[in-house]
């Protein structure tokens, strides 16, 4: 799937919420209204999405731990590849990581602080999650609808974040980015081994030459 403005328009990423619920902090990302619905500037959406994807690829390629937050059962079949996955959130899930047990009443507790947190759909607990990441200075990538506060995350993406179609679209992009991150790691490891092997071969050649001269 190749990211483009046309694709973002096709999936409806430009559709915000009713302007009655608009956050003034999102004004810079909104270019107008249609039937009282906020319309996002998709050029900014594309730019900030590409920036977030690049950062995500680098985190994965450096073997960082990513927490993916989703509470909707209908999306479980499309969960993220190789990442920690939470179906629910308890306030203090990250900030009290050393005091809380792994599970409390069916709520999953994380075993370590993450390198990155992903929030790609609208959740009731979104401000608890953002606040905890902000306190601990943990980078967070989050879809920002028109009623949200972008300064609470390191990588806000102005976009619609409601509905199965849009959520699965963004998941597919970040799953692809995950694979690219893994591939980048393998290429770097292969290159490193290759350089070491070449140096070792060169060392052996020099030893043989010295012996033949002796």
* Gap between the Cα atoms of 196 and 192, Å rounded: 6
CA distances from 168 to 56, 62, 209 (A): 17, 25, 61
Assessment of whether the complete model's pTM goes beyond 0.85: no
Q: Which helix (H) or strand (E) holds 39?
A: strand 37-40
18 membership: H or E segment, kind and range:
strand 15-18
pLDDT of residue 201: 45
From 61, 21, 15, 72, select the one nearest 38 (Cα to Cα): 15
pLDDT tens-digit map of 69-117: 765 555 554 445 555 555 445 455 555 555 544 444 434 445 567 888 8
With a cut of 50, which residues of the chain have pLDDT below it? 77-79, 87-88, 90, 100-109, 195-196, 199-207
Domain ranges of the chain: 5-203
Q: Which residues pair with 144 in a beta bridge?
A: 158
pLDDT for residue 70: 65
- What are the distances in angstroms from CA 12 to CA 36, 95, 101, 147, 161? 16, 35, 40, 17, 10
Taking CA 34 as the corner, what is the angle to CA 28 and CA 37, rounded to the nearest 5 degrees? 65
Pair 139, 117: CB distance under 8 Å: yes
Are 86 and 172 in contact, with CB atoms under 8 Å apart? Answer: no
Q: Classify domain 5-203 at the CATH class level.
A: alpha beta
Model pLDDT, residue 91: 52
Q: Which of 182, 188, 210, 194 is nearest to 61 (CA)?
A: 182
């Amino acid at each position: 799937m190749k990211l483009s403005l046309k694709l973002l328009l096709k999936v409806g990423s430009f559709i915000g919420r009713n302007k009655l619920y608009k956050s003034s902090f999102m004004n810079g990302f909104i270019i107008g209204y249609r039937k009282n619905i906020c319309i996002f500037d998709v050029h900014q959406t594309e730019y900030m999405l590409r920036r977030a994807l690049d950062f995500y690829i680098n985190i994965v390629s450096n073997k960082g731990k990513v927490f993916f937050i989703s509470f909707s059962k209908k999306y479980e079949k499309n969960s993220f590849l190789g990442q920690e996955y939470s179906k629910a959130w308890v306030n203090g899930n990250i900030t009290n990581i050393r005091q809380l047990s792994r599970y409390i009443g069916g709520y999953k507790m994380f075993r370590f602080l993450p390198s990155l947190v992903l929030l790609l759909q609208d959740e009731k607990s979104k401000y608890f999650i953002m606040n905890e990441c902000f306190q601990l200075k943990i980078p967070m990538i989050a879809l920002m609808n028109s009623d949200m506060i972008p300064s609470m995350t390191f990588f806000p993406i102005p976009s619609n974040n409601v509905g199965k179609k849009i959520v699965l679209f963004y998941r597919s992009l970040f799953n692809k980015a995950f694979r690219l991150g893994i591939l980048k790691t393998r290429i770097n490891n292969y290159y490193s081994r290759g350089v070491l092997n070449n140096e070792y071969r060169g060392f052996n050649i020099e030893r043989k030459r010295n012996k033949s001269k002796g």
